[in-house]
Amino acid sequence: MSAARTPRRGRARTPTSTAAARTPRRGRVRTPTSATAGTTPRLPLEGLFLFTAADVARVAAGELTVTWRLWKRAHVKVGRAYPAAHGAVVIDDVRLVRARDVTDADARDVGLADARSLIDLARSHKRTRVSGDTLLHRVAFHYVPEPPPRRPPLSLPEIAKRLARLDAASRTGPWTLAALRLVEEHRGVVARVLAAEMELPRLEFKARIRKLKALGLTESLPVGYELSPLGQAYLDSLRA
């Protein structure tokens, strides 16, 4: 008869308090590698559109006036101007079109060969399946050389008040400072990875970053985010 097993030592873990605020795990984020040779770089238009460098030039020249997006909801409003290509694009029309109703003529409007190419491009932005019933946003716009006026930046004390309100409204405890520091330390890292570091679903993490961006503290990159000059100044003020 075999001897009774004795419990192995050293494996018990002391439970942590669930009330403690989550902080991002350090040292596990990988900075994305450079783009594969031969690919065309994409430039951000205020985080709303991702155009190739060639398309940015076409937007500025007035040659490209339509884009198609696989959005769950419209991210732009008719009549509003959004900074782009050293100027701005003014939204003229936003409408929903089923994928099956996209035509080759629609594709040629954006410089593509046929409807399938247009749908494939829209799908690549989200890396998701597109069926005939999938709704795409058709966004028509025109370019103006002058960017829209920006609101004056918030003062540092006002930023602190706004962030405190966001923290107080969160069901999971304070998060704004951890998110800002994470973006500072990991510029250009994909949102999925940053969300995992904060132990949040990707969409919830992105929603939080949008709140920081609305305060002028972060900026969108083709991949990931970075602090704005104001966001960096705020963090620097906390270290002073």
pLDDT, tens digit, for every residue of 46-104?
Answer: 345 666 777 888 888 889 999 998 888 888 889 888 877 678 889 999 999 999 999 99
pTM: 0.50
Whether residue 66 is found in the same domain as residue 113: yes
For residue 212, pLDDT over 90 is answered with yes
Residue-averaged pLDDT of the chain: 79
Asked whether residue 110 is assigned to any structural domain, the reply reads: yes
Whether residue 47 is found in the same domain as residue 113: yes
Confidence of residue 39 (pLDDT cuts 50, 70, 90): very low
Answer yes or no: are the C-beta atoms of 64 and 107 closer than 8 Å: no
Report d(CA 207, CA 204) in Å as an integer.
Answer: 5
Whether residue 61 is found in the same domain as residue 123: yes
Q: Which of 92, 109, 144 is the last residue of a domain?
A: 144
Whether residue 124 is found in the same domain as residue 175: no
Q: Which of 85, 111, 144 is the last residue of a domain?
A: 144
pLDDT tens-digit profile of 104-145?
999 999 889 999 999 888 777 667 788 889 999 999 999 988
Query: Looking at residue 178, which CATH number applies to its domain?
Result: 1.10.10.10
Query: Looking at residue 129, which CATH number applies to its domain?
Result: 3.10.400.10
Q: Work out how many domains the chain is built from and give that number.
A: 2
Q: Is 92 helix (H, G, I), strand (E, B) or coil?
A: strand
Which residue would you say has higher pLDDT here, 60 or 37?
A: 60
Q: Determine the structural domain holding residue 78 and report its residue range.
A: 43-144
Amino acid identity for residue 9 in this structure: R
Q: Which of 91, 117, 144 is the last residue of a domain?
A: 144
Q: Hey, what are 170's tokens?
A: 């969160």
Using left for φ > 0, alpha for ψ between -120 and 50, and beta otherwise, residue 90 falls in: beta
Confidence of residue 148 (pLDDT cuts 50, 70, 90): low
Report d(CA 202, CA 195) in Å as an integer.
Answer: 5
Q: Hey, what are 176's tokens?
A: 């704004």
Strands in 53-180 per DSSP E: 66-69, 81-84, 87-98, 135-144
State the pLDDT at residue 41. 37
Confidence of residue 222 (pLDDT cuts 50, 70, 90): confident
State the pLDDT at residue 46. 39
Asked whether residue 11 is assigned to any structural domain, the reply reads: no
Whether residue 139 is found in the same domain as residue 161: no
Report d(CA 113, CA 104) in Å as an integer.
Answer: 7
Report d(CA 121, CA 104) in Å as an integer.
Answer: 14
Q: Hey, what are 68's tokens?
A: 């198609």
Whether residue 164 is found in the same domain as residue 127: no
